[in-house]
Every structure is written in C-alpha cells, then in structure tokens.
Amino acid sequence: MKKTIFTGAGVAIITPMKEDGSVNWDLLGTLIDYQIEHGTDAIVIAGTTGEASTFTDEEHIEAIRFTVEHVAKRVPVVAGAGSNDTSYALWLSKESKQAGADALLHVTPYYNKTSQAGLVRHFMTLADATDLPVILYNVPSRTGLNIQPKTYLELSKHPNIVAVKEANGNLSAILETRYLCGDELDIYSGNDDQIVPILSLGGKGVISVLSNVAPQATHDICQLYFDGKVQESAALQIKLTGLINALFCDVNPIPVKEAVNLMGWDVGHCRLPLTDMDDAHKALLMKEMKAANII
C-alpha cells in the first residue's frame, strides 16, 4: 500500500495580488497561516485557483518555495507542476522538488490533449522525474480530456503515482476506478459539492476551493465522516451547498477571490483574461456568504 499524502481538506489556495498585479507575498503568508489555524490539512499552491497559468516561471517556483518555507512542515505542501508540454512539466517537477514540495499535482494535458496511451506515457515520464508522490488531476471541463478507469489502473502501477484529484463529476466512473485500483490510488474530490459522495467510495478528502473561505467547515465535513458521523458530515455538506454553488457562479477563481476580498483581505483582482464579477453574481455571493455566517 502506498503512503497517503494527506487526509481531509487541502486548500487550492488563491494567490493575492497587489494593485499592479504582482504577487502579494506578505498576504499569501497571512492566508496560509489562517488556513492552517482553521483546520486545513494541506496547502496546494500554484494550482488553477492560484492562477498559476498566468505565472512567470520565476513566480511559479517562488510561490512554491515561499509556501514551503512559510508552512514550515506544519502540513504537507502540494505543488502544481502540470503542463500540456511534458518537457516543461518535467522541469517544473524538478524545480518543485528542489523548492521543498512534499508532493506534485499534475493536470492532464490541455488544448493539444492526447490519447489514453499518451496520458500513460506523459504521467509515467513525470512520475519518473523525481521521487515525490504525484497526484493526478482530472478536470475534463477545463482540459477537454478525461482519464478513463482502465488508464488509472495502468498509472496506479507506478510507485510514485499515489492519488488523483477527481473532478470529472462522474461517480460511476469513480466507483469503477476504486474497484480497479483499490488502495493503489487514493482519490480526492476535486468538486466541493461531491466531498461526501466521494468519501463514501473510500476517498481520502478534497482539494478544495471552498476551503479558502470556510476552511474549518470543509475540514469538518471530512473529519466527521472519518469519525463515523456520516449524517453530520452530510448535513454540513448540504448546508454549504448554496455557498459552494455561488463560488462557481463565474469562472474559478473569480468568485472565490471576490469572496476573500469580502472577508476583509485585499487579495486584489484576478489577472486577465479573468475579469471581475458582475453585480448580480456578486449579490448572490454576498447572500450565500451571509447565510453561511462568513460575513
């Protein structure tokens, strides 16, 4: 059996920006501390929610290095190192290792995409690059590419491929993956509205957008389930449904960044091509945040 990277709620943390669009490192440190103090079980840096697709190479590696140093081993740090260019993802993997990351997150290739056979070669090549554990990231809504259960079975044979952040939304496919891979591949929910369903299939937790604004509650959904309090866990998941939906009423991370601004932290705007929310979506977000007693 492979070693589990973390159980519970890992936050796909936002990247705060200054007015000129540069990274606000001091505020990132404050947000990391807030997350850990409120139950978050892992920090996932330089992911989709962190706007890594707009990072320069220097920003990307500095974000990982800064996070590793600031977290100081309090929780695991998972570094986003994925790309649709295998050679570039190899470079990011090695740089992430050197920066001190505990694990790597590798998204499926996007735009150019690939076949299922290409996925196996891509991920196996990346898993060979370092000795760090790898979490695959399957998010067909963004990449146009879906990892099939039989492909997971082949990938799970690599000792460094230990988990998947599954955001395909297909519980039947996730069940098939669990059946085929067993304990050779941990599953984290990549969708905040499916935490409890995926836990019920043996999932280890969630890599979460919701945790940015409700870290304790997101952690508690998982911990209650692990403690055998399934009804309480489900009730909390259901209670937060309105907020979860509001956090995805526009392209992620537009709503969650606005939500953190509404909480009193000046995390700035998203980098273009992402733009600010319209008034209707902002009103919905504020309503659901108030209902959840966040503001």
CB-count exposure of residue 163 (10 Å: 0-12, 13-18, 19+): buried
77-80 and 161-166 beta bridge pairing: unpaired
79 neighbors 101 (Cβ within 8 angstroms): yes
Query: CA-CA distance, 138 to 145, in Å (whole number)?
Result: 8
Query: CA-CA distance, 238 to 233, in Å (whole number)?
Result: 9
User: Alpha carbon of 183 to those of 1, 23, 148, 157, 177: distances in Å?
Assistant: 6, 39, 17, 11, 11
Residue with tokens 């959904």: 221
Query: CA-CA distance, 254 to 201, in Å (whole number)?
Result: 31
Does 165 participate in catalysis according to the annotation? Answer: yes
Q: 61, 55, 67: which is closest to 93 by C-alpha?
A: 61
Q: Which two tokens stand for residue 79?
A: 């570094």
Does 152 participate in catalysis according to the annotation? Answer: no
Catalytic site residue from 137, 152, 188, 225: 137
Three-state SS for 12?
Answer: strand
Q: Which two tokens stand for residue 4?
A: 């589990």
Catalytic site residue from 34, 88, 94, 165: 165
SS3 of the chain: helix, strand, coil, percent, to 5: 50, 15, 35
| DSSP symbol at 189 | E
**Residues designated catalytic:** 137, 165
